Amino acid sequence: MSTTRRRLLRGAARLLPVALLLAVSAHSAFAAEGKRLKVGITLHPYYSFVANIVGDRADIVPLIDGHSNPHNYTPVPDDMKRVTTMDVLVVNGIGHDEWAFDIVKAGGREKNLPLIYANDGVALIPIAQDEGQAKVVNPHTFVSTTAAIQQIYTIAKGLGEIDKANAAFYRENARNYAARIRKMKAEFSAKLADVDVAGFRCATMHGGYGYLMQEFGLQVTAVIEPRHGVEPTARQLAETIDRIKAANVQVLFAEKFFASKLADTIKQATGVQMYSFSHMSEGDYAPELYEREMRQNLETLVQAIHDVAGKKSGS
């Protein structure tokens, strides 16, 4: 049984009390020393979330280099050094950053580093893995405005419990940041107000976009890769193509910057239109990254829906 599956089976309800206990202990030491809070993060969206929450009142320490691919990441010695400098670490905790727990352990911080599980409180989408069909959850919650807002509030609350002197400041920033994201979603929802999406059918190269689709009342008919970065077998690909044809899928969403011969093969076999989404998982860490990339994703989604609607109407 994998580390991910064991953690998920234990449940977030059992993890949260431990994280809060560590946070209380950390606050005592932090307040006594009067030092500036150092917040660790594991993924690019969490850098944006934390940066917009803490402003200039705390420092952010990315656990891994921004140009490293977080999928199947292998820790390096510098990661262990970075984890020793942190007062708290914000984690996905449901499958996207399992390597972080290995780094925490290797850095000797298992017992004294508070963890903020960003997805506590998020309504998770279950998926069936191809290994024994054990139920796990989709960890790509940040590719969604609704789930992102929930995570922002969870992170702000956790940071405020450690850094009580700035708790009100963090809460206010979280509210303002969440309001901008909520406004962005409303802007694009309005562009779809007069579009019938009932017949919209899409497939994705991997399962990272389920939360985004769910926000707009859409479903993913087929996922091409059984796991991120793992190409399907010839039989799996043939079955997927048959499923796409049978379900009248019109659109295939691939990941931006990750071209694949598979995508071309599927397009040629099915005639689907192709579009690209950002996975927000590589590049320079930046406070504005989440809003910038999420806006691009929403623009792409709205464009795809309008293109399909236009094609149906013959316009």
Residue 129, pLDDT score: 56
C-alpha pair distances (Å), 243 with each of 1, 178, 206, 246, 311: 30, 38, 15, 5, 21
Residue 34, pLDDT score: 66
Q: Distance of alpha carbon 131 from its chain centroid, rounded?
A: 22
Q: 10 Å Cβ neighbour count for 193?
A: 6
Residue 224, pLDDT score: 85
Contacts of 94 (CB under 8 A, 6+ apart): 4, 7, 8, 119, 124, 137, 139, 141
**Long-range Cβ contact pairs of 30-33 (< 8 A, separation 24 or more):** 30/87, 30/162, 30/163, 31/164, 31/165
Residue 28, pLDDT score: 46
Residue 54, pLDDT score: 98
Q: Distance of alpha carbon 235 from its chain centroid, rounded?
A: 30
- Is 152 exposed, middle or buried (CB count within 10 Å of its CB: 0-12, 13-18, 19+)? buried
What is the pTM assigned to this prediction? 0.86
Residue 22, pLDDT score: 53
Residue 238, pLDDT score: 92
Residue 311, pLDDT score: 67
Residue 259, pLDDT score: 56
Tell me the Ramachandran region of residue 23: left when phi exceeds 0, alpha when psi lies from -120 to 50, beta otherwise.
Answer: alpha
Residue 16, pLDDT score: 46
Residue 135, pLDDT score: 61
Residue ranges, the chain, pLDDT below 50: 1-18, 27-28, 32, 130-133
